[in-house]
Amino acid sequence: MLFLDPPYQPRIIIENEDFAVVDKPPFFLSHPTKKKRGFSLLEWLYNQNNQIPWKLIHRLDRETSGLLLVAKNNASAAYFGRQMEKRLIRKGYFAITWGELKADYLKIEAPLGYLGVSSENEIVIRQGIQSNGSQAITEIYPLGYGGGHSLLWVKPQTGKLHQIRVHLSLIKHPIVGDKLYGPNPSYFLDFSKQGWTKEMEKSLLLPRHALHAAFLSFFWKGNKQTVFLPLSDDLEQFLKLTKGFQKIHNPRFFEIS
């Protein structure tokens, strides 16, 4: 039994007097909560400088690594909040999935909502496709495949809870390591009680879901800002150890901005 710690501390990628872009490690909460174990990025930032009223502009799931935009004052928080409402803040993710997706481009449009607790679903936060749910659109660009897996570049056009994970599961390409939307949703509850086990390792392959927030664009003082963060070391290593995996050239990937 093992409860997993972040493999590295958060890293500030860009910072000025009004905002910062931070690399959040996996197994690190975005925001503190009483229900989940572990330290949070917001607490880490307060420890760096508790005179700053840090405010997260968006969040990442606990196991997702990568870029987060953080405001350092109320004015910048409001400014970025308006951009979020107008969908002017764009994001891009690397995802490693089960199955070999051999296509140049795929667009998923499927509304999302809470499934609700029932005999078929014990997990309160679990999302699913709901006809009366919120609009959710995800664009997918394969960047490699082989050995039963794919490397995908994912651009969510909307920002719904667990959107990427649910949409990839919908098309039968769930994210490697996903305890909630992968082969057995009960792993989500088992992990919270027992930690990482040999059974999970055999089935999930990775101790965290293979999703990495790699691209962020936003506007600041009239100028477009873009930040790119390469695939995290643990996910890069997984691909290197996957026999038969090959990266491919997808020209659409370079249109990330």
List the catalytic residues. 61
Give the span between the Cα atoms of 188 and 26, in whole angstroms. Answer: 16
Strands (E), the chain: 11-15, 19-24, 55-56, 65-71, 90-98, 106-109, 112-114, 127-129, 137-146, 149-156, 211-220, 223-228, 246-247
Q: What distance in Å separates the CA atoms of residue 200 and residue 112, rounded to the nearest whole number? A: 27
For residue 215, which amino acid is it? F
Per-position DSSP letters for 189-228, written without gaps between them: HHHHHH-B-HHHHHHHSSSS--EEEEEEEEEETTEEEEEE
- Report the relative pairing of strands 106-109 and 65-71 from DSSP bridges: unpaired
Distance of CA 251 to the CA centre of its chain: 23
Q: Are strands 211-220 and 223-228 parallel, antiparallel or unpaired?
A: antiparallel
The burial class, CB within 10 Å (0-12 / 13-18 / 19+), for 36 is exposed
